[in-house]
Amino acid sequence: MPEESLDQINFDKLNEKAISSPLVKHIYTADPSAHYYNGKIYIYPSHDIDAGEAFDDLGSHFAMEDYHVLSMDSIDSPAVDHGIALHVNDVPWAERQMWAPDAAYKGGKYYLFFPAKAHDGIFRIGVAVSDSPTGPFTPQPQAIKNSFSIDPAVFEDEDGSFYMYFGGLWGGQLQRWRNGSFNGKEPESPTAHLPNDDEMALMPKIAKMTDDLLEFAEKPKDALIIDENGNPLLAGDNKRRFFEAAWLHKYKGKYYFSYSTGDTHFICYAVGDNPYGPFTYKGRILEPVVGWTTHHSICKVDEKWYLFYHDSSLSKGVTHLRCVKIAEIEHLSDGTIKTLKPYRD
């Protein structure tokens, strides 16, 4: 789907075949992180805008400036936009590109975790706090110490521990941190410093959070994704290896780590026995959508599980102008997840 010429796509027919419709149409939204707080659904998406930036593989055209929070009374209710929850101008350390966020709740406070490029052009991850799930959120004056790259996803385990998963290739800069510090050489290349195809793939990062959720309690480490033989996925295995969009949910005592494969446009998943992994690759949750990117979250609502995702159907295929959607997913009796096609045949 992402590789098709837009001239070949009849968007009226595509939307008729879509398994779900955009949650909101008055703004462009993407990268939805969904949570179920106090009997209500809250969605923390990116807010897409057209800032006139040139299209490139560094993602310069994804020039988002703020976050809105959406809420739904039930899975079938209309989504309500609660307006700007946080703007880049309110974040002292951040300059631009407010990419995919996530949220968490603890001790009566709501936490918004977000990546942004600092004034030195390096992606960091910040946190902002509110008394309300819809904000407004007050940012911390500095980014999380030792944070880097993009796409934070914060998971609360049953023992009350919180873990952040993060990372993204190409424009997400994960490959520039291979040696523990930022490699600024070849700044215009999205693929410089990637491992060779026959080397181990770059893995998402995990770090346990401090009790106040404002910092890492440990140095980030790899969340290993392995194949059925126990071997780490290779960098050239781009239909299965991690690219971006980390997410974790727990089902029947197992930890399901899901993610985007980026340039091959799948949402895949791997399963482990603890939050650190290793996670064994199991398959795909979602086939490619229209638009280059794919990004998701998984949330349980009233004993059913739902995939929150996006495509570019609302903008008729403009990659950086996307719309958030919902589809129910099914965990099968063997622990696998049934693969969804975003558009019916």
For the CA atoms of 245, 45, 159, 301, what is the dihedral angle to 10 degrees?
-110
Catalytic residue among 12, 31, 73, 211: 31
Q: Which amino acid is at 24?
A: V
Nearest to 93 by CA among 115, 60, 64: 115
- Residue for token digits 């941190």? 177
**Quick one: tokens of 287?**
């086939």
Nearest to 277 by CA among 262, 297, 259, 299: 259
Residue 128 and residue 138: Cα distance in Å, rounded?
A: 5
Helix-then-strand count for the chain, H and E? 1, 21
Residue 329 and residue 246: Cα distance in Å, rounded?
A: 18
Residue 155 contacts by C-beta under 8 Å, 6 or more apart in sequence? Answer: 162, 163, 164, 165, 248, 249, 250, 275
Catalytic residue among 48, 102, 244, 311: 244
Q: Are 244 and 167 in contact (CB under 8 A)?
A: yes
Look up 303 and say whether it is catalytic.
no
Look up 131 and say whether it is catalytic.
no
List 334's β-bridge partners, or say none: none
Residue 231 contacts by C-beta under 8 Å, 6 or more apart in sequence? Answer: none
The secondary structure of residue 143, as a DSSP letter, is P
Residue 203 and residue 175: Cα distance in Å, rounded?
A: 10
Burial 259-271 (b: 16+ CB within 10 A, else e): bbbbebbbbbbbb
List 128's β-bridge partners, or say none: 112, 139
Sheet containing 323-329: order of strands: 296-301, 304-311, 323-329
Instruction: List, by residue number, the catalytic residues.
Output: 31, 244
